[in-house]
Structure 1
Amino acid sequence: MIEILNDDELVRARDAGALVGGILQSLKKRAVVGVNLLDLDRWTKQMIEDAGAESCYVDYAPSFGRGPFGHYVCTAVNDAVLHGMPHDYALADGDLLTLDLAVTLRGISADAAISFIVGDTQAPEDLALIDATERALAAGIAAVRPGARIGDLSRAIGTVLRGAGYSVNLEFGGHGIGSTMHQDPHVANDGRPGRGYIMRPGLLLALEPWVMADTDELVTDADGWTLRSATGCRTAHTEHTIAVTAEGAEILTLPRV
């Protein structure tokens, strides 16, 4: 299913996006050395409920997972990159943490992710990983315009990631979003320009470049959800929900100031 949102739905999408962006920034401030991942999950639940929103994750049960996810935010640490299930772990200095959050507010969903280093020890190679995903996301957003094809923005993302020296896994990528969290079209993190769905105003996309330092192979953790690098290397993941507009792209998942 591919949805094209009307003006009223876009207003609600902006509200949902601002909520996601605000919660992620609040969690980033709280994610200090010694904080437990389960506390981050508990705080997320409270912020979602206080806003009158609903979690897209707690009852999420796709074919690739093991039953409902059962938590409110994905917390991927170090070699974990996607679907990181919160568990009893206290953050340590130098951990590379990715927080991925999706909520539905007044019938419209928004999805975003941030990667950052906890504490004061910031390894240059970790900063390079994060920077590559952020630059790739910016390149993908810059490629969004009515009449362009999904392959055009996939190629823009992949060009940055490959240019930074990383291989690109195509199993998981971005996606359409709207009244539900995951919709068509799929947005691979690399691709061929001139191919795929033609973008038009009102289309919402969640763009999410992610990389692993020295591999493109994933392994699934014993929890049935958390995806880790096959070599145990560090990872990073950055995501925004954007709306296609007549002028290009509007980023929805920025916190309101």
Structure 2
Amino acid sequence: MAAGSDAAETMALSCVHCGKPASLQCPKCAELKLPREDAAFCTQECFKKSWSSHRLVHSKPKASLISNSTERNPDSLGEGWLYCLKKGQARTPTPPHFDWTGTLRPFPISRKLVVPGHINQPDWAVDGVPKIEPNSDFQQVVEIKSPDLIERMREACRVSREVLDAAARVIRPGITTDEIDAVVHEATINAGGYPSPLNYHFFPKSCCTSVNEVICHGIPDARKLKDGDIVNVDVSVYYKGVHGDLNETYFVGNVDESSRQLVQCAYECLDKAMAIVKPGVRFREIGEVINRHASMSGFSVVKSYCGHGIGELFHCAPNIPHYAKNKAVGVMKAGQVFTIEPMINAGVWRDRMWPDGWTAVTADGKRSAQFEHTLLVTEKGVEVLTARLPSSPNVFPWLSS
């Protein structure tokens, strides 16, 4: 670790790990001339603790891997790059045919990444089929988590947040969503976790990357992000027997004002929904709050996908619809853990499914944005288990104003 050359400038920075004032700089970041805000640390100890995720910042984009003229040709990408079909259970060397709703198209995907054998893995890791989850009593009954389970969830959610932050730091024009997936995969493995989406019902990647008109469940592929895109990265980590789950939508380079308003509205919808979480509140009220804010902002709310319970199971009761006049039953109780993850569209709320069986897109081809947190209902209100950290990258302008 080296002291910064400009003491006044460096001292104004915050530690990447803990958020305290920072006076040290990662020497590798200095060598690569990376932004100082991504390289600042307060002590050697913080530098060591964050190394497994921080070192991913040093990775240079593999832009040479894919040229503009050949990036959609699987043969030019090397062995193993194919288009995805049948929810991840099939591959094809030719682009699928579809009545595309917007300008985005699927690109080839790389082979599934490997998780080391020493990592604790969920029951779908090998054959793609969840076994405990579908038949669990907690598909109908909302679990009240034990103190031990809650503590493990805090740890899993902290790891999930750090993994998402690692992905956020590499997003820029020219990087592929496959490269983002590789960062998520490596950061998860380095933390001792398993990327929950990997092979879940045959999903082929370690995270979801949803670009522009993709609402959710976009599959990381060979397409380069372009200046003006928006991209949602959805990260889930299985750690110490439980799952953490969160996502954020990021700006790629210079984004137009309408897209900025859409993304900020999605952020605010989640924020306003979290503010009402406490014992005694009906689950269906979450959708009322979200729908009201989205409608007032001129946007619509997706109805096909909802938040969910989470813990030792990746998905379980309760279901959390995000739209108004929904029929969710039950009231919140202390010890319950669930996600809220509103998907907000610039146009109509309806969605279509791509031929890969995973990628949900807006029916009119207009853009969609989403944010998600995992939440614990406490005796007095709510604890956001996946909350942003002092070290989380400062990528949302409205948080700085």
What band does the TM-score fall into relative to the shorter chain?
Answer: over 0.9
- In structure 2, the residue matched to 1:191 is 324
**Conserved? CA contact 2:303–2:350, under 8 Å:** no
Report the secondary structure of 2:348's partner residue: coil
Q: RMSD between aligned alpha carbons?
A: 1.5
- In structure 2, the residue matched to 1:166 is 299
- In structure 1, the residue matched to 2:376 is 243
**Which fold has the larger relative contact order, with Cα–Cα distance below 8 Å and residues 6 or more apart in sequence?**
1
The one-letter amino acid paired with 1:207 is I
- In structure 1, the residue matched to 2:218 is 84
> Aligned-pair distance for 1:191?
3.3
> Aligned-pair distance for 1:60?
1.1
Report the secondary structure of 1:233's partner residue: coil
- In structure 2, the residue matched to 1:12 is 152
Report the secondary structure of 2:266's partner residue: helix
Of 169, 172, 190, 1:50 maps to: 190
Percent identity over the alignment is 28
**Conserved? CA contact 1:22–1:254, under 8 Å:** no
**Conserved? CA contact 1:74–1:86, under 8 Å:** yes
The one-letter amino acid paired with 1:20 is S
Distance in structure 1 (CA, Å) of the matches to 2:290 and 2:270: 6
**1:247–1:197 Cα change, 3 Å:** same
CA displacement, residues 206-238 of structure 1 (integer Å, 9 cap, x when unaligned): 100111111111111122211111111111011
**Conserved? CA contact 1:18–1:255, under 8 Å:** no
- In structure 1, the residue matched to 2:60 is none
> Aligned-pair distance for 1:193?
8.8
- In structure 2, the residue matched to 1:128 is 261
> Aligned-pair distance for 1:254?
2.3
The one-letter amino acid paired with 2:224 is A
Distance in structure 2 (CA, Å) of the matches to 1:181 and 1:197: 20
Of 203, 209, 217, 1:75 maps to: 209
The one-letter amino acid paired with 2:266 is T
5+ unaligned residues in a row in structure 1: which ranges? 62-67
> Aligned-pair distance for 1:104?
1.3
Q: Could you say which structure has the larger radius of gyration?
A: 2
Report the secondary structure of 2:226's partner residue: coil
Report the secondary structure of 1:150's partner residue: coil
- In structure 1, the residue matched to 2:238 is 104
The one-letter amino acid paired with 1:123 is D
Of 129, 138, 148, 2:271 maps to: 138
**Conserved? CA contact 2:248–2:372, under 8 Å:** yes
5+ unaligned residues in a row in structure 2: which ranges? 1-137, 391-401
> Aligned-pair distance for 1:163?
1.7
> Aligned-pair distance for 1:251?
0.5
Of 17, 23, 28, 2:168 maps to: 28
Distance in structure 2 (CA, Å) of the matches to 1:184 and 1:170: 17
- In structure 2, the residue matched to 1:182 is 315
**1:78–1:190 Cα change, 3 Å:** same
Of 91, 95, 113, 2:229 maps to: 95
The one-letter amino acid paired with 1:182 is H
The one-letter amino acid paired with 1:96 is I
Distance in structure 2 (CA, Å) of the matches to 1:105 and 1:4: 19
- In structure 2, the residue matched to 1:149 is 282
The one-letter amino acid paired with 1:153 is I
> Aligned-pair distance for 1:48?
1.0
Distance in structure 2 (CA, Å) of the matches to 1:110 and 1:125: 31
**1:58–1:156 Cα change, 3 Å:** same
Report the secondary structure of 1:19's partner residue: helix
Q: How many residues align?
A: 250
Report the secondary structure of 1:31's partner residue: coil
TM-score for both structures, normalised by structure 2 = 0.60
**Conserved? CA contact 1:146–1:246, under 8 Å:** yes
The one-letter amino acid paired with 2:240 is R
**1:20–1:135 Cα change, 3 Å:** same
> Aligned-pair distance for 1:12?
1.0
Distance in structure 2 (CA, Å) of the matches to 1:50 and 1:11: 21
